[in-house]
Amino acid sequence: MAAQVQEKIQLQELLRRHPADIAEVLVTLKEEEAVELLRRLYLRRAAAAPLGEMDPEEAARLLAELNREEAIHILSHMDPDDAVDLLLELPEETVRDLLSRLETRKAQMFRALLAYPPDTAGGLMSPEVLALPAHLTAQQAIEEIRRRAEELETVYYAYVVDEEKKLLGVLSLRDLVLARPETPIGAIMNREVVTLPAEMDVEEVAQLFDKYNYLALPVVDKDGHLLGIVTVDDVMDVMREEATEDLLRMSGIPSGEEAALSPPLTSVKFRLPWMMGYILLDLLVVYAVSLFEHTIAQAAVLAAFMPLIADMSGNVAAQALSVAIRGMATGEVGWRDLPRVVRKELLVGCLNGLALGAQLGLIAFLLRGNPFLGLVAAVALAGNTLVATVMGGVLPFLFKRLRVDPAMVSGPVATTLADLTGFFLFLGLGALFLRYLQ
Ligand code: ATP
Ligand code: MG
């Protein structure tokens, strides 16, 4: 009995918190406990908002544990854009079944939204947008907002449309409140509207939000009909996800699907195949080195420096690669900038190569007292650095052009090419000066 009372109090406390906080609690619980809590929230009509705040994949996993009736009720109370993100994570039959049981109007709305690819403005938008006819007065517009506030995704902006729902202009809440009450909104609206075409890629959407700093932007079709709005919070989610994905992919984790606490076997599944592929790629380097087995056997000192050269190509390529991938993700650079990127990285590679080569050459000379060893190491590292820099900076553009994930493959390929250059120079020159190295 006491335990039940205790639980009730805890639930009450939880219900007072922000849905995002409740979502956080749901994520930290074990699956059965989370489902149990979700049921309790559902009984209090409070399950929709927290699910909307969760990662859609995790939200979908929880929702799938509820029965159909519960799931449908929750879905129909979520913001449509969040609900659709969640539906996208469920198996197709489940989605079909859920949609067939939903209220017709909602089901139609969800179907329309599901038709847009998730990585476009249409896939991000909520159709619950405030669209007003131009003849309304400021006073009437405010009353309309008051009446519909509950169902609207956001009320920061009112969009003015004609009879066919073509977008004519926009007003902010401030514009409305400050206008004289009897002024028609068509007379005070802002006619130069920044819009998002429904098929615009989310990366470009994020760039527009970054540029114009509006809290929401309207989505239109090809003929300028208002379809919905994208709000800044959705865009922040996208930007975070894209940044994480790029980061993970650059370290060889495909499509950012692995989380810190993913089950070990899931992690193995994501990581291992790529690493097995990278080994095959690295066999090229093994082959190159094996051509010089004789040289290495004669001057074992060469072997001591080889790991350094291999390591440095990875480090150097990673620097150029991060800059390129980041630049591509933010839209700062694209395919047309390739010549400029090549010129820049060539120069950077030469300068850094010279400096690093000089540093290593000097150290090798001082350590071993052999100027030839210093020279061989210096030239090898300089060449290695040049190739790693240029390849790290340029390959992402080429792979993106070829529609191969640039973050996943550029690093290993750049490193391998740099290793090949470095080892050919190092061991080739080593063979040339063998007499002086023994
Ligand atoms: P506050 O800054 O205090 O929140 P505000 O009225 O200045 O209120 P902003 O978000 O800064 O609101 O918007 C400034 C202006 O931009 C408003 O007059 C609004 O009509 C206009 N506006 C809003 N959305 C768009 C858009 N998509 N394209 C063009 N103009 C827009
Ligand atoms: Mg302002």
The residues, ordered by sequence, that sit 6+ positions from 299 with a Cβ below 8 Å of its Cβ are 430, 434, 437, 438
User: How far is C-alpha 105 from the chain's CA centre?
Assistant: 32
pLDDT for 10 equals 83
Going from the Cα of 174 to the center of ligand 2, the distance in angstroms, rounded, reads: 9
Structural tokens at position 177: 């409140």
- The angle subtended at Cα 200 by Cα 398 and Cα 110, nearest 5°, is 125
Q: Whose CA is nearest to atom 13 of ligand 1?
A: 172
The per-residue pLDDT string of the chain (438 residues; one tens digit each, 9 = 90 and over) reads 567 777 777 888 889 999 999 999 998 999 899 999 999 999 888 999 999 999 898 999 999 999 999 999 999 999 888 999 999 999 989 999 999 999 998 899 899 889 899 889 999 998 889 999 999 999 999 999 999 887 787 788 999 999 999 999 999 999 999 999 999 999 999 999 999 999 999 989 998 998 999 999 999 999 999 999 999 988 988 888 877 777 777 777 776 567 777 788 888 888 898 899 999 999 999 999 999 999 999 999 999 999 999 999 999 999 999 999 888 887 788 899 999 999 999 999 999 999 999 999 999 999 999 999 999 999 999 999 999 999 999 999 999 999 888 888 899 999 999 999 999 999 999 999 999 988
Structural tokens at position 101: 């049981």
What's the CATH fold of domain 264-437? Tetracycline Repressor; domain 2 (1.10.357)
232 lines ligand 1 (CB under 6 A): no
The position carrying tokens 């098929």 is 199
Q: Whose CA is nearest to atom 2 of ligand 1?
A: 174
CATH of domain 131-233: 3.10.580.10
CB 88 within 8 A of CB 110: no
CB 204 within 8 A of CB 238: no
**Nearest atom of ligand 1 to the alpha carbon of 213:** 10
Half-sphere exposure in the Cβ direction for 137 (13 Å, CA): 6
**Nearest atom of ligand 1 to the alpha carbon of 195:** 27
Domain 2-115 sits in CATH 1.10.357.10? no
Ligand closest to the CA atom of residue 158: 1
Give the number of other Cβ atoms within 10 Å of residue 264's Cβ. Answer: 7
pLDDT for 375 equals 95
pLDDT for 203 equals 85
CB 198 within 8 A of CB 220: yes
Going from the Cα of 214 to the center of ligand 2, the distance in angstroms, rounded, reads: 9
**Nearest atom of ligand 1 to the alpha carbon of 174:** 6
pLDDT for 253 equals 73
Domain ranges of the chain: 2-115, 131-233, 264-437
CA dihedral 138, 144, 148, 154 (to 10 degrees): -10
Burial of 350 (0-12, 13-18, 19+ CB in 10 A): middle
Going from the Cα of 321 to the center of ligand 2, the distance in angstroms, rounded, reads: 38
**Residue 196: its H or E element:** strand 196-197
- Global pTM reads 0.66
* Dihedral sign from CA coordinates of 252, 256, 262, 268: negative
Q: How far is CA 356 from CA 143, 345, 350, in A?
A: 69, 15, 10
Q: Whose CA is nearest to atom 10 of ligand 1?
A: 214
**Nearest atom of ligand 1 to the alpha carbon of 192:** 29
170 lines ligand 1 (CB under 6 A): yes
Q: Is 167 helix (H, G, I), strand (E, B) or coil?
A: strand
The position carrying tokens 């599901």 is 114
Q: Is 87 helix (H, G, I), strand (E, B) or coil?
A: helix
Burial 293-302 (b: 16+ CB within 10 A, else e): eebbeebebb
Q: Which of 145, 177, 190 to mutate to test the pocket of ligand 1 (most atoms within 8 A of CB)?
A: 190
pLDDT for 80 equals 87
